[in-house]
Amino acid sequence: MENAKFKLVAKTFQGVEEELATEISQLGGEDIIIGKRMVSFVGDKELMYRANFFCRTALRILKPIYTFEANSTDELYDKIKGYNWEQILSPKSTFTIDSVVNSDEFRNSRFVTYRAKDAIVDYFTDRGKERPSVRLTNPDIYINIHISHNECTISLDSSGESLHKRGYRVAQTEAPINEVLAAAMLMKAGWNGNSDFVDPMCGSGTILIEAAMIATNTPPGIYRQEYAFEKWPDFDADLLHEIYNDDSAEREFNNKIYGADINPQVIEVATKNVKSAGMERYISLETRSIQRWEEAPQNCMVVTNPPYGERLKPRDLEDIYEALGGKLKHIFLGCSAWIISSSREGFDKIGLKPSQKIKMMNGALECELREYQIFGGKYNQHKKDIAEGKKEDRREKRTPKKESFKREFEKKDKEKKNYRFDDRTAPKKEKPSKPKREKVFSKRENKPKPAPVPTENLERGKRELHGDEFVSKFVTFRKPTMIDESATENKQFRKRKNKE
């Protein structure tokens, strides 16, 4: 059936799940459930194509085909070998396997990949048929294996190469920001193209290009050369052609996007990427350091990804963030600024109080995306003006309301009782009373006084001696002997005896 619906899973970065769920909902996804670094939903073939083509915050779209439980690698091998692989692969097909493992039983993802590969190959050879070949680059079929504890899910990867590889990047700097992360930052900031946009440290131009694509509603898949589902047996070329050529949702962008960087070679890289994306009419680039900004567009949005200090000296890093904070306070009045960084010291040097802090991951680095509302005067007066309607609440206008989606743990709670929470509503059991200890002394009782020091040996009529007087009369001190620690015990004894 062409319109048959099935389960799909969209993978993404941690902290971006809400934005991805919103995108899938807008495309028509059903039964949306948010998990960790993923969003599951239900849709048909057209929705799978559209999710690959339109989702800005998805890394890949998976189609689960087989779910089972396994407690050992042998059981995993048997279950995979028992699946009907002839409906997926042919002897002339090539395939690759990507395994993600989170289990005490399966600790090595590479070993899981090898066992799964053996199971698929043996499925064909045991039937006397020619086996398909393994190919790591550009295979016909991408197979994804996900193991959580003993739950195993085999999926077909409909995307192939990660969806963050849009296709417009023809040159790059040393550490460019990921396209999916850049789009997620803009979506969290509520960017919609209703104002001018500035990135004063633009690098290779990723944030600028993603901002232009959102402002014009250009789908990220427009630059993509191919998807993995194009090699599937049921691929519908006419459907993909219809999706690709539908530009009815694109819109005109009448504002301007400005980017700058201190390095002229970096600006050359950004210029090439902007031209490759076809966004040069919207994006203006120039070589300029953050210290040289003297004016800025009114009521613009600033989104930037400054250095984190991984390759800079601490003093240089502090100077950059201090200059950024100074320019925001004096040049970008009336604007909103969003800055992502992993440097807490850098944020401190900005010298502004953030109105929002959002945790995100940039590769392996734990980062924060912070919003700064730049205004003249005092903050209390600024809030009062917004309440009285003298100023617009830019944050409320720009940040769209998030839809409520089911969470993965909510689904599990329905299937399996959570005993920790159930116990809270259960009647409390009476604890057995502990035996009372015998009291030794009460607060009012007097403790026995210590026995007096016997004085039988003291002569009658003589006073008692104390302190230094007692020590000088009754205590004798000997001078310390010099002992050679390297000598044996006998030699030490002889030395002491001779000295005595």
Give the pLDDT confidence of 163-210 residue by residue, as tens digits. 999 999 998 887 789 999 999 999 999 999 999 999 999 999 999 999
- pLDDT digits 0-9 by tens, 351-369: 999 999 999 999 888 999 9
Q: Give the β-pairing of 151-157 and 60-69.
A: antiparallel
Please report, for residues 12, 223, 406, the alpha-carbon distance to residue 409 in angstroms, rounded to integers and kept in the order given.
18, 36, 8
Question: In this structure, how many other beta carbons lie within 10 angstroms of the beta carbon of residue 73?
Answer: 16
Distance CA 256, CA 319 (A): 28
d(CA 394, CA 185): 17
Tokens of 458: 């003291």
pLDDT tens-digit readout, 49-87: 999 999 999 999 999 999 999 999 999 999 999 999 999
User: Which H or E run includes 385?
Assistant: helix 379-387
The secondary structure of residue 284, as a DSSP letter, is: E
Cα 78 to chain centroid distance, Å, stands at 35
| Of the candidate ranges 278-292, 336-350, 434-448, 457-471, the one whose mean pLDDT is the lowest | 434-448
Tens-digit pLDDT profile for residues 380-420:
555 555 555 655 555 444 444 455 677 765 555 444 444 33
Amino acid at 500: E
Helix (H) or strand (E) holding 3: none
Q: pLDDT tens digits, residue range 257-311?
A: 999 999 999 999 999 999 999 999 999 999 999 999 999 999 999 999 998 876 6
Helix axes 206-215, 264-277, angle to 10 degrees: 30
Residues 6+ apart with CB under 8 A from 259: 198, 199, 200, 202, 205, 208, 270, 283, 284, 285, 286
pTM of this structure: 0.77
Do 61 and 71 touch, CB atoms closer than 8 A? no
Q: Which of the 8 DSSP states describes residue 427?
A: P
d(CA 18, CA 62): 18
- Please state whether 355 falls in left (phi above 0), alpha (psi between -120 and 50) or beta: alpha
DSSP secondary-structure letter at 326? H
CA gap 385, 134 in Å, rounded: 65
Instruction: Give me the pLDDT at residue 447, please.
Output: 47
DSSP string of 300-319?
-EEEE----SSSS-HHHHHH
CB contact set of 272 (below 8 Å; sequence gap of 6+): 170, 171
- The conformation of residue 399, written as its DSSP 8-state character, comes to S
Inter-CA distances, 466 with 107, 451, 452, 459, 463, Å: 74, 19, 16, 15, 10
Averaged confidence pLDDT in the chain: 83
